[in-house]
Structure 1
Amino acid sequence: MTRPIAILRPEPGGAATAERVRAAGLDPLVLPLFAVVPLDWTPPDPATFDALLLTSANAARHAGPGLDALARLPVLAVGRETARASEHAGLRVIEHGQYGVETLLARQPWSQRLLWLAGRDRIAIEHPAIRAIIPVYASETIAITGAQALSLSGTVALVHSARAMRQLAAQLDTHRIPRTSLRIAAISARAADADGRGWDRVAIAPRPDDTALIEVAQRLAIDP
């Protein structure tokens, strides 16, 4: 018996992950725990920066008209999905990372002047090249029903962030669904450690991308 794969990320990322899950021969259960909404923001003078740092495809998708004022700046994107969303928004990607933002930033000179277009809720990143941070989107939590929480029992849940891990744990605890009924495929150790108590099994992807995450989930999906 193969367990379903629970996809908790907001749209349109959830649908894209579901396609990849199906392509891997697995059954997706799409149950977003967040909805992404744009924030009001004012673009700064692009002349004061050398490049944009985008750590999520949602920044490119939801930044809105303000992004046009910064289109002359090249983009450092964390991951292929973020790079694709940036190019779709008309931006020029000069580098994208495969092993997380820390690895990407380690290759940047300290004299680089980066503008980070970020989410409202984010993990702090320390690097001298980050000269300013502007939140351009927010991921609002979605409370799921008891029936939806119950449907997660017996699945392998894909956890794309530390915040998603905490929200999953909170929703299951609210509806008294045992954590032992789920297995967790986490995109990073940070995500796995956000609330790592009581799960049946937890595995961490070797790279922070969907392909690696689904490969890990595929192994967890096979009982026992």
Structure 2
Amino acid sequence: MSGSSAPLVWITRPQPGADKTAAALVDAGYNFLVLPLTEIVACDPEIDPGDIERADFVVATSANAFRFLPEPLLAAFGDKPVYAVGDATRAEASARGFAHVHSAGGAVDDLVLLVSKAEPAGARFVYLCGQVRTGDLEQKLVGNGFDGGLAIVYSSRIVSRMTYLLADALSHRRPDAILFHSALSARAFADAVSTTTEDLFENTRFIAISARVADALPDIFRPCVIVSAAPNEHALLEALRAAVPSSGA
């Protein structure tokens, strides 16, 4: 159980994911502060009904793709098989009512391999995604003989009053570690940290979920940046445990 002497970890990811990370940190013996630097908002997918009807399957690389999927589209996709990049995305798809959901359990290349084994060449897909995408999933699927397009259902944006939020958090207790789940959060942090506050993080470890996220952090903190072994929550928390052990680890 965490206590006042347990390491303090800042969680920079938006809700509802931040609460899930917080629960995992408590179980591992850490104190936490939820300090979302970004937020997720819904977009109008603007997808042609004909593209939905012609699609043979759905792919997604984030649970937000299903969390923000409008009800009409949820019904329109019906019983089409869904291929998710990982277990969290699969769980969200199942929770929204999709009956045939498969998880690649890894990264984008694992997802492409899963689809290529399960679907015939020439099958059409709809990629449910955010406004900012990584991993080139669409191009890789096309390169493997599939056809399809995007349905942008959400976007991420930096929260307002960033400098104030960081200053307020630092006034209570300096963090032992900060978790970064996205490059946007890392860039927001980099933009908000001034030269007058850099020394307040001299004993902080910056745990990034991928090398791309790590690259968005300020160069001044590079010696204290740690990249998780895989781009998922489990590996991120394992990296935290190795860098900043807790009594519950």
Query: Aligned-pair distance for 1:182?
Result: 3.1
Q: Residue 208 of structure 1: which of 218, 226, 231 is its match?
A: 231
- Per-residue Cα deviation, 1:130-170 (whole angstroms, up to 9, x for no partner): 62012111112103454531435433111112222212211
Aligned length in residues: 223
Structure 1 residues 180 and 105: CA distance shift in structure 2, 3 A: farther
Equivalent of residue 62 in structure 2, options 43, 53, 56: 56
Q: Is 1:160 matched up with 2:177?
A: no
| Comparing 173-182 and 94-103, the one that deviates more | 173-182
Task: Please list every run of 5 or more consecutive structure 1 residues that lacks an aligned counterpart in the other structure.
Answer: none
Instruction: Say whether the 8 Å CA contact 1:146–1:175 is kept in structure 2.
Output: no
Selected match of 1:134 from 148, 151, 154: 151
1:114 equivalent among 119, 125, 131: 125
Provide Cα deviations, 1:93-147, integer angstroms capped at 9, x if missing partner.
4321222122211333353422111111222613113620121111121034545
Q: Which amino acid is the alignment partner of residue 102 of structure 1? A: D
SS at match of 1:198: helix
* Partner deviation per Cα, 1:183-205 (whole Å, 9 max, x = no partner): 21111122212335122512222
2:128 aligned counterpart, secondary structure: strand
1:191 aligns with 2:197: no
Which letter does structure 1 place at the counterpart of 2:64?
N
Paired position in structure 2 for 1:98? 105
Residues 107, 83 of structure 1: alpha-carbon distance in 2 compared, 3 angstrom cutoff? closer
Q: TM-score, normalised by structure 2?
A: 0.80
Asked if the contact 1:77/1:93 (under 8 Å) is kept, the reply is no
**CA pair 64-90 structure 1, distance change in 2 beyond 3 A:** same
* RMSD of Structure 2 on Structure 1 (CA): 2.4
Give secondary structure in 2 for the equivalent of 1:84.
helix
Name the structure 1 match of 2:165. 148
Return the structure number with greater helix share: 2
How far apart, in 2, do the equivalents of 1:144 and 1:130 lie?
43
- Structure 2 residue identity aligned to 1:84: A
Matching of residue 218 in structure 1 with residue 222 in structure 2: no
- Deviation, structure 1 residue 175: 7.2
Percent identity over paired residues: 29
How far apart, in 2, do the equivalents of 1:132 and 1:175 lie? 46
**Alignment check: 8 A CA contact 2:8 2:177 kept:** yes
81 and 198 in structure 1: CA distance in 2 versus 1, 3 angstrom threshold: same
Structure 1 residue 5: Cα displacement = 1.3
Q: Report the structure number with the largest CA radius of gyration.
A: 2
